[in-house]
Amino acid sequence: MSRARSAASALAALLGAACAAPDRQAPGSSSPAPAGPAAQAPDYGGYAARLLPEPVPELFRLDAARLRQRPEYAAIAAPVRELVRPDLDVAGFEALLGQLLLAADRIGEPKARAAVVGRLAATAGAVRLASATSLWAAFAESKGRLDDFALQHAADAPAGCRLDGYLPAGRSVAIPFACEQGGGVDDEGRPRGPSRWFAYLDERDAWIVVAVFDLVHSALEANLQLGEVAARLRQNRTAWDDYLRHGYAQYPWEELVNDRLVASAWDSPPDRQFVFLHAEPGVVFDLQHGKDTSLDAALLVHAIGHLWYFGDDRGWYAGASATAAITSDEDHGLGYGVTLHFGRSVASASVPAVSVGLLWHEGNDGERGLEMSIGVDLLRLLR
């Protein structure tokens, strides 16, 4: 708590200073560009490029995530380690930024110091003004960008150079960090030629910049609250699975029809389905001559129909279709009428998908009347 208070005080003191960010000259901060090869050094944005020795120091070649174990990084991170955690609130984040402002104020290079301090202060101010309570929501509401705190490629690097830096602004970066001039491979993977590496900050400043930005980035990433997103995506996937795998089965031509006629999106599985020329095994039972007849096996063809799915998981469906029934008894004649479909469309469903129809038939032998059809999704029962 006392740490948070002192950080808040530091933040308040630095907020004003950040705006002006005087071009203070720090010892050793203005290393002139080396002679010789550095004469063509890829200076950038007012920063002088400094030729790096071979092998390239890890600070300038490794990603921040791989530098976290280094003592130089750890020294900067130590005072704020406990503030980089997944349950950070806005006040905690402000406290983190306050501590990092203290570290950033030790950057010797004036432009870099001004840029880092300015961005930290601006972020703290914007997050504080946001109405949201969770860190991610407040950060997003304040128009912050995670990109600001990660190393980025500069699209306007000097010709023949690959330049990485911090604080992107359009095609540029405000703080150039490291640059590889020449080198690279051609489109067949063969080396184009030798390369030289340059840095724009001295090592002391570079460690501060890397650690400060990485700590802010890590704190924000840890508070993205992806657990909630993952849970909703899981339900979305289940709904798709229920519709496609456990819903009312579709023939290829029905897939095409539904694909064209039913609205859907990756995050919005279909909530209805057309039935079209759908053949299904079943039985028919003559309602008006029930004493003399038994169940007749039949091929039920649902000519056209429509189903609705219910629930966020698309776990139930119901609907109706126009049906024709063909039995093996040629004298029975064609039956036609309406079928109601209903079923549970989840993997664990014990209730089978059932289709119950009321049909009219006219037999060749003069027998006519109402009959009931029952179609069962045998495939579901057998699985």
Residues 250-309 that bind other proteins (CB under 8 A): 250-252, 255-256, 258-259, 262, 264-270, 279, 281, 299
- Under the criterion CB under 8 A, does residue 134 sit at the interface with other proteins? no
- Under the criterion CB under 8 A, does residue 71 sit at the interface with other proteins? no
Choose which of 195, 303, 320, 356 interacts with other proteins (CB under 8 A).
195
Q: Which residue's entry shows tokens 């950033």?
A: 104
Which DSSP string corresponds to 301-368?
EEEEEEEEEETTTT-EEEEEEEEEEEES-GGG--EEEEEEEEEE-STT--SPPEEEEEEEEE-TTS-E
Question: Both tokens of residue 42?
Answer: 């890829």
- Other Cβ atoms within 10 Å of 35 Cβ, number: 8
Least separation in angstroms between CB 121 and other proteins: 18
Cα angle, residue 169 at apex, residues 168 and 173 outer, rounded to 5°: 45
- Under the criterion CB under 8 A, does residue 78 sit at the interface with other proteins? no
Choose which of 1, 36, 131, 187 interacts with other proteins (CB under 8 A).
187
- Other Cβ atoms within 10 Å of 243 Cβ, number: 25
CB neighbour class for 218 (10 Å; exposed up to 12, middle 13-18, buried from 19): middle
Residue closer to other proteins (CB basis): 195 or 293: 195
- Under the criterion CB under 8 A, does residue 230 sit at the interface with other proteins? yes
Distance CA 353, CA 342 (A): 6
Choose which of 32, 39, 71, 190 interacts with other proteins (CB under 8 A).
190
Residue closer to other proteins (CB basis): 2 or 328: 328
Residue closer to other proteins (CB basis): 280 or 286: 280
Residue closer to other proteins (CB basis): 108 or 247: 247
Residue closer to other proteins (CB basis): 10 or 300: 300
Residue closer to other proteins (CB basis): 139 or 200: 139
Distance CA 73, CA 94 (A): 21
Least separation in angstroms between CB 234 and other proteins: 6
Residue closer to other proteins (CB basis): 218 or 293: 218
- Under the criterion CB under 8 A, does residue 218 sit at the interface with other proteins? yes
- Contact assessment for residue 208 and residue 71, using Cβ atoms and an 8 Å cutoff: no
- Contact assessment for residue 42 and residue 157, using Cβ atoms and an 8 Å cutoff: yes
Least separation in angstroms between CB 350 and other proteins: 19
- Under the criterion CB under 8 A, does residue 183 sit at the interface with other proteins? yes
Choose which of 5, 82, 106, 191 interacts with other proteins (CB under 8 A).
191
Q: Which amino acid is at 360?
A: W
- Under the criterion CB under 8 A, does residue 318 sit at the interface with other proteins? no
Which window, 20-28, 228-236, 338-346, 364-372, contacts other proteins (CB under 8 A)?
228-236
Nearest to 45 by CA among 112, 107, 114: 112
Least separation in angstroms between CB 249 and other proteins: 6
Least separation in angstroms between CB 90 and other proteins: 15
- Under the criterion CB under 8 A, does residue 162 sit at the interface with other proteins? yes
- Under the criterion CB under 8 A, does residue 85 sit at the interface with other proteins? no
Least separation in angstroms between CB 2 and other proteins: 27
- Under the criterion CB under 8 A, does residue 167 sit at the interface with other proteins? no
Helix/strand/coil for 44: strand
Q: Are strands 195-199 and 50-51 parallel, antiparallel or unpaired?
A: antiparallel
Q: State how far the alpha carbon of 373 is from the alpha carbons of 166, 211, 338, 352, 361, in Å.
A: 71, 73, 9, 16, 11
Question: Both tokens of residue 146?
Answer: 């995670």
- Under the criterion CB under 8 A, does residue 366 sit at the interface with other proteins? no
Least separation in angstroms between CB 24 and other proteins: 31
